[in-house]
Amino acid sequence: MIEILEHTGEAAFKVIAQTEEEIVKEACKGILAIYFGEEYLREFEEEKKKNEQKPVYQKKEEISADGVDFESALVNFLNEIIFRFDARKLVLKEVENIKITKSDETEIKATAIFEKFDPQKHKPKIYVKAATYGGLQLKKTPDGKLEIQIIVDI
């Protein structure tokens, strides 16, 4: 679950999920919600249900990011997604096969499915420069779920 938050001068969202893998998946949706609006996510989910058989331009890429802990690896992973939109005009559709490895550092690996930017379909509301480390802290909620707030520079 993602929730867009009010934030002065930047944009922010909160993710609540059962696992770190779900946090990664939902955080990617949070970036899309900032870029294109929450209604884009609803429309995307509806389109996904209706058009599962319909061929669309898709590009799968393996994405890997690491950091000193889960939080920093997550920021680096999100910045990889942002970079692909920024530099190559690829819009994230889905993240799958998420694997998190922890040793001296934490590494997040996943398969990201992108589609080519289409100005008729993708109408950015806010330009996202980068996910930041500001206020970044993974914590447990009283009911045992994981929660993290992510601030993005716009």
Domain boundaries, the chain: 2-153
pTM of the model: 0.91
CATH architecture of the domain 2-153 equals 3-Layer(bab) Sandwich (3.55)
Q: With a cut of 90, say whether residue 150 has pLDDT above it.
A: yes
Q: With a cut of 60, say whether residue 123 has pLDDT above it.
A: yes
Which helix (H) or strand (E) element contains residue 78? helix 70-88
User: What are the structure tokens assigned to 133, written together?
Assistant: 């480390």
Report, as an integer, the average pLDDT of 117-121.
89
Q: With a cut of 90, say whether residue 7 has pLDDT above it.
A: no
